[in-house]
C-alpha cells in the first residue's frame, strides 16, 4: 500500500495539538482594519480550534498529523 499524501493546503492552515484537536487562525485580520472594532480585531488575533464536527475532515486531509480517535 503506498503512503497517503497530506493535503498541503490543510497542512499550511492547521496545526495538530496533543489532545487530537487542531489549531487554526481566525479570519478578518488582513486588511481594511480601520473600520473594524477593536474587540473584533483582538478576538481575531487569538487562537481558534477546529470544530468537533470538522475534525474528521481535517484528519483525513492530514493523515500523519494527529492520532485518530
The tens-digit pLDDT sequence of the chain (69 residues) is 899 999 999 999 999 999 999 999 999 999 999 999 999 999 999 999 999 999 999 999 999 997 655
Distances (CA, A) of 60 to 35, 46, 49, 51, 57: 38, 25, 17, 15, 5
Residue-level pLDDT at 67 = 67
Alpha-carbon span 3 to 5, nearest angstrom: 6
Going from N- to C-terminal start, the domains of the chain cover 1-20+52-62
Residue-level pLDDT at 68 = 55
Amino acid at each position: 500500500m503506498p503512503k497517503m499524501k497530506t493535503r498541503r493546503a490543510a497542512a499550511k492552515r492547521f496545526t495538530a495539538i496533543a489532545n487530537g484537536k487542531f489549531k487554526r487562525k481566525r479570519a478578518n485580520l488582513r486588511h481594511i482594519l480601520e473600520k473594524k472594532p477593536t474587540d473584533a480585531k483582538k478576538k481575531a488575533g487569538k487562537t481558534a480550534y477546529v470544530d468537533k464536527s470538522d475534525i474528521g475532515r481535517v484528519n483525513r486531509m492530514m493523515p500523519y498529523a494527529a492520532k485518530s480517535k
